[in-house]
Amino acid sequence: MTRRRGLFVVLEGPDKSGKSTQARLLAEALRARGLTVLHTREPGGTSVAEGVRAVLLNPQLTIDPVAELFLYEASRAQHVAEKIRPALARGETVLCERFTMSSEVYQGLARGLGLKITRALNQAATGGLKPDLTIVLDMPVEQFDSRDRHRELDRLEREHVSFRVAVRKGYRKLAKSSPRTVLLDATKPAADLHRLILARVAR
């Protein structure tokens, strides 16, 4: 008997939109229902990919947009091969904070490299793997400074406000045009947002 492939859910959204909190709450809820869950993130999720993450988010570095895109894709390729595909093949539920849509938004749209190149590299890095459901958490740019004030900002979080505006615009655009994608208001209380997400996943 062939094992059924597991469910692949991605949480997307601008920096500080609450992806980590909602992914943690969702993982806990699904485990309470008896599911085996891999909760992971991008960039990261493997030793190699976490090393790339440290470079990408280092606030002391200036990285060319094309180099930045290739670093993300290298991290993603390792992550998919080492963690995501094997977990899905075992029938596990995979919850990932960020995936290919992040590259489309940050590098393709906000950096101006274009969706053609980002989608081609996403295809190469993932072998065509796509989420079963992508949840985009939408947050007004004005709320950025009011969230998580007590930690040092990483390289991307230090970008000019115009970059954050472009990121939000990109997410809203892609969320409305991408299949199997839901756009949710991230300004809702965390518990209320969690219930909405859990209901979507349960469908």
1 found inside a domain: no
CATH number of the domain encompassing residue 92: 3.40.50.300
Q: Tens digit of pLDDT for each residue in 63-111?
A: 999 999 999 999 999 999 999 999 999 999 999 999 999 999 999 999 9
Query: Total domain count for the chain?
Result: 1
Q: Tens digit of pLDDT for each residue in 10-39?
A: 999 998 899 999 999 999 999 999 999 999
- Any idea what DSSP says for residue 95? E
| pLDDT score at 115 | 98
Cβ contact 96:188 at 8 Å: no
2 found inside a domain: no
3 found inside a domain: no
Query: Residue 1: which pLDDT band, with cuts at 50, 70 and 90?
Result: very low
Q: Which domain holds residue 47?
A: 8-202
Specify the DSSP element, H or E, that contains 71: helix 65-79
How far apart CA 92 and CA 159 sit, in angstroms, is: 36
